Amino acid sequence: MTQLKIYPSERPTAFKPLGFGPTIAGLVEEIVELYRADSIPWVVGYSGGKDSTATLQLVWAALTQVPPTERTKPVYVISTDTLVENPIVAAWVGRSLDRMGEAAAAAGLPLTSHRLTPDPSESFWTTLIGRGYPAPRAKFRWCTDRLKINPSNRFINRVVKASGEAIVVLGTRKAESHARSKAMERYESKRVRDKLSPNGKLPNSYVYSPIEAWTNDDVWTFLMQRKNPWGFPNKDLLTMYQGASADGECPLVIDATTPSCGDSRFGCWVCTMVEQDKSMTAMIQNDVEKEWMLPLLQLRNELDVRGENGKRNDKHLRDFRKMNGSLQVFNDDIVHGPYAQSARETWLRRVLEAQRHIRLNGPEHSDTIELITLPELREIRRLWVVEKHEIEDSLPGIYEEVLGVPFPDGRLDDGAAFGREEVDVLRELCGDDVLHFELTRELLDLERQHSSMARRAGLFKALEHSLRRGSYENKAEAQATALRRRDLIEGLRDDDGIDGALSFAPEPPLDPAAEQSA
């Protein structure tokens, strides 16, 4: 087993001025004073990694020194499960939360643990498979807000609403990165109370970072010398880090300045923000008993679609129109929108296949692992059928095909006039003209949706939008139309100083004769 590295004493350390023991004692005393200073409840971010574990242990130690009669305000420990966490880490955090809740109650501490998850309408798979958002990338990092920021901020906002204010205790450290150091220093300059920085995103909440000056080595030194109070040995945590060759953790995220998970960090197994998931790769390579996670790594790599030049290129999987049907061009090329129906159905199959593999080949208790939950599947199904007008309702069939059991829900809409057989006939009539099929299917469903209304308000507007969106014969025609409009707008901009983004609402292509006369 890899041994914990011992570094020369001249390396930077927060313990040097006073020594390890006095420094920890002083920090615990500081936490006690902050806790007793007011009635504002605390929210402690816990990810199961080294930094948040060290922070929580310090808070726990401070609470034990507060007289029982003065433990009057609650301490909420929150952990955000994105539902796509590394399964090893997710299991660790889940067990740890259960254990700390029991241990705190037994010790008479006002500390409770809370596992937070994204709303099913905002989850990773609902967004990618349901809505068709392409896998996250540096310039389109849609995952952080939905999976991490929103769940934690909703909880903190509830605390603020109930109590007026909240103090958020985080394991953030300046040594994590230059950007993190600059962000922390910026908020330090705005402090209205000692040690409490304003939360830039959440009104009436403050951030306290007790280990902000610690180095990576300081964190491990503390964890190896101070016993975990809720019964989860820190040596096991070190072993998990060593097995993943990781040097960081995926922290509680409450703002977009927090580094994304991935690379050497424990984070989401689907993360495509980096070229390779080093931690999961190392876990599989270092331990034959973790080979059951290989389908997850393979699926993650498939999501990160790249061309022969190594650059990301998933245009062949995506619609040439944006989500609202508009066209957008950049450098004379059309900017592609969401995943097409065939790609979304493929991703659903791949996730369910990976889930089936893990349940059959994983360790004990893996037969209950859900890579994609039933609430997510229900929301994906609703998005496909109701919002995208994919009335053939293919999700139940894919579910049963892959897992071998019927989808637990019945028909989504008993009033639907068209079933799979009718849609198959329509598809056959349209032949290879996919755009014609999709337009006809959508028009039929819009008529059906409005047929039961006493006043069919909005029908003609919806039909007009669909006709405009589906008016192109193919991608090439749509691109030519978008480029033509761009040139017209740029001409107007040059003449009149008009400024605006080059995104165009869906309109029928110009008739060549009319264009010439114009």
CB contact at 8 A, 373 and 120: yes
| Residue 333 confidence (pLDDT) above 80 | yes
Task: Give tens-digit pLDDT for 33-90.
Answer: 999 999 999 999 999 989 999 999 999 999 999 999 999 999 999 999 999 998 888 8
Residue with tokens 């998970």: 261
Residue with tokens 């796509």: 84
| Structure confidence at residue 491 (pLDDT) | 75
Task: Give tens-digit pLDDT for 381-407.
Answer: 999 999 999 989 999 999 999 999 999
Q: What percent of the chain shows pLDDT beyond 70?
A: 85
291 φ, ψ (degrees, to nearest 5): -65, -15
Helix, strand, coil in percent for the chain, rounding step 5: 50, 10, 40
What is the H or E stretch that residue 166 is in? strand 166-169
| Residue 443 confidence (pLDDT) above 50 | yes
| Structure confidence at residue 497 (pLDDT) | 56
- DSSP-derived letter for residue 5 is P
The arithmetic mean of pLDDT across residues 427-437, rounded, is: 86
Q: CATH 3.40.50.620 spans which residues of the chain?
A: 20-244
pTM of the model: 0.82
| Residue 259 confidence (pLDDT) above 70 | no
Q: 20-244 sits in which CATH class?
A: alpha beta
| Residue 419 confidence (pLDDT) above 80 | no
CB within 8 Å of 448: residues ≥ 6 apart: 415, 416, 417, 418
| Structure confidence at residue 518 (pLDDT) | 31
| Residue 410 confidence (pLDDT) above 70 | yes
Tell me the pLDDT band of 513, cut-offs 50, 70 and 90: very low
| Structure confidence at residue 311 (pLDDT) | 84
| Structure confidence at residue 244 (pLDDT) | 66
Spatial distance between the Cα atoms of 398 and 352, rounded to a whole number of angstroms? 9
Task: Give tens-digit pLDDT for 303-323.
Answer: 999 887 878 889 999 998 888
- DSSP-derived letter for residue 42 is E
| Structure confidence at residue 351 (pLDDT) | 98
CB contact at 8 A, 417 and 446: no
| Structure confidence at residue 517 (pLDDT) | 31
Least confident stretch, 333-337, 355-359, 424-428, 487-491: 487-491
Tell me the pLDDT band of 349, cut-offs 50, 70 and 90: very high
Least confident stretch, 107-111, 151-155, 253-257: 253-257
The arithmetic mean of pLDDT across residues 360-379, rounded, is: 91
DSSP characters over 294-330: HHHHHHHHHHS-B-TTSSB--GGGB-SS-TTS-EEEE
Q: What percent of the chain shows pLDDT beyond 90?
A: 48
